[in-house]
Structure 1
Amino acid sequence: MIGALSGIKVLDLSRVLAGPWCSQVLGDLGADVIKVEQPGQGDDTRKWGPPFLDDGSGDSAYYLCANRNKRSVAINMADPEGADLIRRLAADADIVIENFRVGGLAKYGLDYDALRAIKPDLIYLSITGFGQTGPLRDNGGYDFLVQGMSGLMSVTGLPDGEPGGGPMKVGIPISDLTTGLYAAISVLAALNHRHATGEGQRIDLALLDTQVSLLANQASNWMNGGMVPRRLGNQHPNTVPYQDFACADGSILVALGNDRQFRAFTALIGLPELADDDRFAISGARSVNRDALLAQMRRAIARWKSDDLIAAMEAAKLPGGKVNEIPDVLLHPQIEARGLVQDMARADGTPLKVLGFPAQLSASPATYRHAPPRSGEDTFLVLFDKLGLTQNEVERLAKAGVIAERL
């Protein structure tokens, strides 16, 4: 037993990010994941660079972030023999993951109804831009598009009217990533349902639905308070101060979540009277009167050196810090202590690094068993082991272009 999901078999027909992120999570937790790719092409993200891995594969760093703990097989599903191989792999799987357009797999006999007929308890996850129903069901969806359509970009970025103001996407593909996480959660729920009832099911998950669900407090502000959320830069719509401030030698972050922290912080920066001012004493009042409050706080904070103020805040147990660049945070002692950066090596010995699974499970921790594979590198072995094909059979399929040639 290696991992909580040891013994669970996943057939991953997805590509790019949302689906592969889900299957990587399942793989980290011990599932056996087989990734199906198009011969000669592979996952689109293999070419999303630079940078690229310096091993002759042409694989991008982007691809490496979402494809560890998988085996790659290259099978042409447009060929009837290829589609039959995939059906046979699905018959041996617990979970199938796909992110084709609605109905796109039916012509290959790889849709939910076709696979459920041969594997009744199958869990079949479909990820699309807009879901299997609704007026947008046939439209393609991408992370950037969904960030805008969902309203996320209406609350991200500097305020309108300020230099640089206007809609801004998040710096990571947040809609894809969170869809991948919701996908993994949904798969685990379906597995537990199957464990209790023996019943498989289809999971219909849309990027737009996921991103709208994550509007959280911003949506609630409108639905339950009639407040239309707007872009506020680094400020928070409901609690103040919760933003960046300029010190004498650079910026720091201040994130105060309650009145006690506000009182302690204003005393620390030499403005204790602010905590007794009716305009600022309680959180709701500070939000209403934020401009007057921030004008005074900015002047006081600007006299501090950033390291000195952060040290003073740490001593007072007040939340604050600097904005790290990615190289800085990946070298931070806290990240090292938590094991977030993992060293791996491909089958040919090529070293690479990945960001690890963040949860620390005491009894069944995540493992890092297989580095992100080259496209199709496991095709022959999987067909031997999973389907019992002979050497002559796989060589014939390779020559016919049904599967990739041996690497």
Structure 2
Amino acid sequence: MSRALDGIRVLDFSRVLAGPYCTMILGDLGADVIKVERAGVGDDLRQWGPPFMPDGESTYFLSVNRNKRSIALDLKTEGGRNLAVRLARQCDILVENFRPGVMEALGLGYEQLQEVNSRLVYCSITGHGAAGPLADRPGYDVVTQGMGGLMSVTGEPDGTPTRVGVAIVDMVTGLYSATAILGALQSRHHSGKGQRVDLSLLGSCLSVMPNLTAGYLMSGVKPERLGNGHPNAVPYKVFPTNDGNVTLAVGNDGQWARLCEAVGQPQLACDPRYAENHARIARRAEVEGMVTEWFLQKTTDEWVEVLSQRQVPCGAIYTIDRILAHPQIEALALLKTIQHPTGGPLCMVGAPFHLSMDDTEPHLPPPLLGEHTAAVLKELLSLDDPDLRELEQNGAFGRRSVREA
């Protein structure tokens, strides 16, 4: 079965999360992703744990590096850099997330590689952008969540600013990167030329708060932390039940009316104090207090059943193990198993999208460090074993021997 990005080749110099998440998406769509790793060390994410697999592989690394081939190059050597340039000639996309100026210093900058491959789409991911007073600072998700304003609106009103439970800025940046790259590829169909794609963690962080930034820029309203509440809708948060918690998302007045019916208070749907969302927002504490009293009368499962029957958006709060075991996950065919060369069968959440004509199933396990160095160089650069031995002796692959794959 065909894949949407069959014939597209990616040279991936990125590491940790934003860039690798981007290239995993491209790999899920069928691109041939060649992951360039530091010789003898590899992607920093290989060391992030626990948990680790029995063979020592980081589950974090494994989670975002399927559908890739790994080559190990020492870019501090002339031989390693020359190989990187030659590979760039054979690729459609390059992704990197070094600090500004690093790739240029290696002879692998956008302008430099455009001279050898004018069709190359060159994606640079930075912490704070390529220009400005913060351009030289490294980018880390938690730092950007704080500096970008996201933590200021996350957490309880009387608590401390709180980090989102996953590296959301990194992953959103990866999503934006993949989207922008696909746009640049489409543009290349018309122009015949590649272009540079620039993204920053900081820009991505701001972009995921459109309602909050617009509220301030357009009306001067400075957003505040509301815990699990919503600044623009009430009741819209987590409420306690008599055996746990339930999420409730009343997004319009019709849903409020159905909630009132479900809890045996139909008269409140017409009460001018609560009938419209703006009125409920003005009485946020009062409304949320009422809902809390109602919901403490039943269990979570009972409320989910009652409210769902009346089409009031709600849900239980599941732990990861419970949601992964839910029959809906099986119905969506989200869990995939792929065979790893040293770790055995790996079960993971696969691509969340399915295409009606093209395959999106995982086709390669996350690679071992340098697993495909020899195979890729033979395939793309027509090198033979004596060539590889000479390059190895000259340090192009670092201290580790190239894997004959």
TM-score, L = length of structure 2: 0.97
Partners of 2:53 and 2:343 within 8 A in 1? no
Partners of 1:16 and 1:45 within 8 A in 2? yes
Matches within 5 A, 1:208-247: 208-247=202-241
Partner of 1:132: 130
Partner-residue secondary structure (3-state), 1:72 = strand
Q: 2:284 aligns with which of 264, 284, 290?
A: 290
State the 1:273 CA deviation. 2.3
| Residue identity in the other structure for 1:236 | H
Cα separation, 2, equivalents of 1:314 and 1:264: 10
Cα separation, 1, equivalents of 2:102 and 2:206: 25
Matches within 5 A, 1:40-59: 40-55=40-55, 58-59=56-57
State the 1:340 CA deviation. 1.4
Partner of 2:99: 101
| Residue identity in the other structure for 1:280 | Y
Partner-residue secondary structure (3-state), 1:100 = coil
Cα separation, 2, equivalents of 1:178 and 1:202: 19
Q: 1:84 aligns with which of 76, 82, 100?
A: 82
Partner of 1:60: 58
Partners of 2:12 and 2:33 within 8 A in 1? yes
Identity %: 44
State the 1:223 CA deviation. 2.0
| Residue identity in the other structure for 1:260 | G
Partners of 1:270 and 1:300 within 8 A in 2? no
Partner of 2:156: 158
**Structure 1 unaligned runs (5+)?**
none
Partners of 2:37 and 2:73 within 8 A in 1? yes
CA-to-aligned-CA distance 1:147-178 (integer Å, 9 cap, x gap): 01111001100112xxxx11001000001000
Partner of 1:387: 381
Partner of 1:123: 121
Cα separation, 2, equivalents of 1:305 and 1:130: 46
Cα separation, 1, equivalents of 2:265 and 2:256: 11
Partner-residue secondary structure (3-state), 1:231 = coil
Cα separation, 2, equivalents of 1:97 and 1:244: 40
Divergent runs of 4+, >6 A:
none
Partners of 2:52 and 2:59 within 8 A in 1? yes
Cα separation, 1, equivalents of 2:2 and 2:369: 25
Cα separation, 2, equivalents of 1:88 and 1:116: 12
Cα separation, 2, equivalents of 1:119 and 1:367: 31
- Answer with 222-231 or 118-127: which moved more: 222-231
Partner of 2:369: 375
Partner of 2:186: 192
State the 1:290 CA deviation. 1.1
Matches within 5 A, 1:308-323: 308-323=302-317
Partner-residue secondary structure (3-state), 1:118 = coil
Cα separation, 1, equivalents of 2:383 and 2:18: 32
What is the Cα-based RMSD across aligned positions, in Å?
1.2
Partner of 1:360: 354
State the 1:367 CA deviation. 2.5
Partner of 1:273: 267
- Whether 2:24 is the aligned partner of 1:10: answer no
State the 1:378 CA deviation. 0.4
Partners of 1:340 and 1:358 within 8 A in 2? yes
| Residue identity in the other structure for 1:206 | S
Partner-residue secondary structure (3-state), 1:105 = helix
Partner-residue secondary structure (3-state), 1:292 = helix
- Whether 2:401 is the aligned partner of 1:405: answer yes
Partner of 1:351: 345
State the 1:283 CA deviation. 0.8
Partners of 1:94 and 1:123 within 8 A in 2? yes
- Whether 2:31 is the aligned partner of 1:31: answer yes
State the 1:205 CA deviation. 0.7
| Residue identity in the other structure for 2:34 | I
Partner-residue secondary structure (3-state), 1:352 = strand
- Whether 2:144 is the aligned partner of 1:146: answer yes
Cα separation, 2, equivalents of 1:31 and 1:17: 18
Cα separation, 2, equivalents of 1:73 and 1:50: 25
Count of residues paired in the alignment:
401
| Residue identity in the other structure for 1:158 | E
